[in-house]
Copies of this chain bind each other. A is one copy, B any other.
Amino acid sequence: MIIVLKPEPDPDQLSNLMEWLKSLNLKINVSEGENSTILGLIGDTSVVDIELLRALDIVDAVKRVQEPYKNANRKFHPDDTVFTVRGVPIGNGTFNVIAGPCSIETEEQICAVAAAVKASGATLLRGGAFKPRTSPYAFQGLRQNGLKLLLEARDRTNLPVVTEIMDLSHIPLFEDVDVIQIGARNMQNFELLKEIGHLHKPVLLKRGLANSLKELLMSVEYIMSGGNDKIILCERGIRTFETATRNTLDLSAVPVLKKLTHLPVFIDPSHATGIAALVPPMAVAAAACGADGLMIEVHNDPPHALCDGAQSLTPEAFDGVMRAIEKVRPFAVRYDHGTPVMP
């Protein structure tokens, strides 16, 4: 961390600052320039509150040299994280597709979609039981009953299941779920992140609509500092001024995150674009640039889906995507400890 002092700092205040920094077990390198003095802090600066420093009268600017996240940082954990979900390996060269409907509606629906996506090659099943909807008048999900139907579909297909949690009080209901999804709107629900950090269950953490990749990794830090290191990161579009798509898919997140962290990186082209016809090309692009997996909405009857029908693929369209990915995957970009390797 670098602290740039204002010209001619008050000596008492400077001495107080130096004392305080030393009390945090930091070493200080002083570099006197023509217009300003610079303090270089050496040691573990992740405990320093950067805003507090900025507020000091004698400080002009503070800049971090190192990232404020540690557990998720590839610098300190160079090897890719790999873990299994009911026997399905995730991370480091594997490629998994999580598919299923936005909402679980009926036993017939979720089981039919599960069978279809499995036949096409999906390795995990998604389905929403608790649904975050902008309008209180929209369908809110089947909740507990939805979870039961999802587990029923798992029993029939043996696909591990991924489903979203909306509040930490629901954690007990998710005991049998294989991967707990934390949605974009909850990426900075820190109370929830802390609780999830104490579980030993894989988590799929979606990037918030207005959150930077560094903030995503800070949210990971909440989970990992609790002891849970089985985390899948998922980019699902950010909010921009463009209205041709529901959000703007930030596909560069794949190589950026691969460099910054050792965790697996998935892409959700369904929520990112919001338009079914755009999902297949973006799914292929994500696979080609080396994402570790995809999350895709599939519904057996999109026009009558109770939510997000507009972005759901039919099982037939999904099968087309899976066939395309099968062809592209052998020639996809790979990553060696975060560095892209051309096919």
Contact = CB atoms under 8 A, between A and B. Distances in A.
Interface stretch (A79-87, A117-125, A150-158, A214-222): A214-222
Interface string A217-232: 0100110010000000
A185 B31 CA distance: 40
Contacts of A208: 210
A51 interface: yes
A173 interface: no
A78 to B, nearest CB: 13
A289 to B, nearest CB: 4
Contacts of A309: 51-52, 55
Contacts of A307: 49, 51-52
Contacts of A213: 242, 244
Interface in A65-118: 65-66, 68-69
A11 interface: no
B240 A241 contact: yes
Given A135-B218, A244-B214, A277-B255, A43 B34 contact: yes
A255 B240 contact: no
Contacts of A188: 132, 134, 185
Contacts of A201: none
Interface residues of A, number: 118
A324 B334 CA distance: 11
A342 B324 contact: yes
Contact of A55 (B54, B66, B218, B305): B305
Contacts of A243: 212, 243
20 contacts: A38-B40, A38-B65, A51-B309, A51-B310, A55-B302, A63-B63, A133-B190, A136-B218, A136-B225, A167-B168, A167-B191, A185-B189, A212-B244, A277-B339, A280-B340, A280-B342, A285-B288, A321-B342, A323-B343, A324-B331
Sort A-B residue pairs by CB-CB distance and give the 4 closest, nearest first. A210-B210, A288-B288, A55-B309, A285-B289
Given A210-B210, A248-B250, A327-B331, 11 more contacts: A4-B65, A29-B38, A52-B304, A55-B312, A136-B194, A248-B252, A251-B251, A277-B339, A282-B289, A284-B288, A323-B342
